[in-house]
Amino acid sequence: MNVFRRAAPSCVHPLPVGPACARLAGVVPEVALMFLETEACLAYGEEDLPSELATLPLRYHVHLPLDVPWERGVEAAGAAIDALVHKAAFVGPHALVLHPPTPYQLEGLLERSPKLAASLALENVPGADLTAVWPLIEAYNLGVCLDVGHLVTYGQQRILDLPDFFSRIRLLHVYGGEPSGRHLPLGAFPDPELLRQILCATAAFAAAAPVSLVLEVFSWPHWEASAATLSQWAQEWGLSWSS
């Protein structure tokens, strides 16, 4: 059974989003549209997000900005997120990855924009391993984007014991960790057995729809090397992905 769908970040090639996605079409079935800076992405036009993206043989999800303006209040942050979601709507993204704000901010966002809950996936990041927002993830039935590089680099293994954790995983960020702040190729992952356990536990809940597995490295040589490592390990572990 194909339980994982391999994906690449849109910025893995040093090209604008359109040409980068065109190059990735046929190589991967899914692309993560990396909306990393709020103001820059709000200014995107046809040149940045060409209509041709919708015609490529790709699925998409959106990584929401790292600098969502929470400091300006929930209304401003929510308005920015809504505008970015609207900007990407023409490609039909199946998920929205968000670095978790405070529980108060997250609850305010979901009360303001309840439709977001169906596609929102919270990512574990340095300093925010999802435990603080877990009651809200349960209450609003949110998804999880498990970043295994953050997990091993920042000692976040405790989140694996949260109730029903693996059943909530919608996406995985897989790479070798970031001990120096930069994402390393998958071959540098310090504990392949832990990764095997995570993938197998996730696969047990992925029968309805494949989980997006993003090889989250940001150069093409590193992505190709990571893909080769993943293929070797997946074969050894009896795992597969959709094409």
In total, the chain counts a number of residues equal to 243
Q: How far apart are CA 196 and CA 212, in angstroms?
A: 16
Q: How many CA atoms lie within 13 A of 13 on its CB side?
A: 15
Give 102's strand partners.
none
The pTM of the whole model exceeds 0.85: yes
Q: For residue 1, is pLDDT > 60?
A: no
Residue 242: band (very low, low, confident or very high) from pLDDT cuts 50, 70, 90: low
> pLDDT digit string (tens) for 52-109?
999 999 999 999 999 999 999 999 999 999 999 999 999 999 999 999 999 999 999 9
Q: How far apart are CA 148 and CA 102, in angstroms?
A: 21
Inter-CA distances, 220 with 7, 23, 169, 212, Å: 13, 11, 26, 19
Sign for the pseudo-dihedral over CA of 158, 159, 160, 161: positive
User: Cα dihedral angle (39, 180, 5, 235), rounded to 10 degrees?
Assistant: 170
Q: Which domains does the chain have, with CATH numbers?
A: 4-242 (3.20.20.150)
H/E run at residue 121: strand 120-123
Q: For residue 181, is pLDDT > 90?
A: no
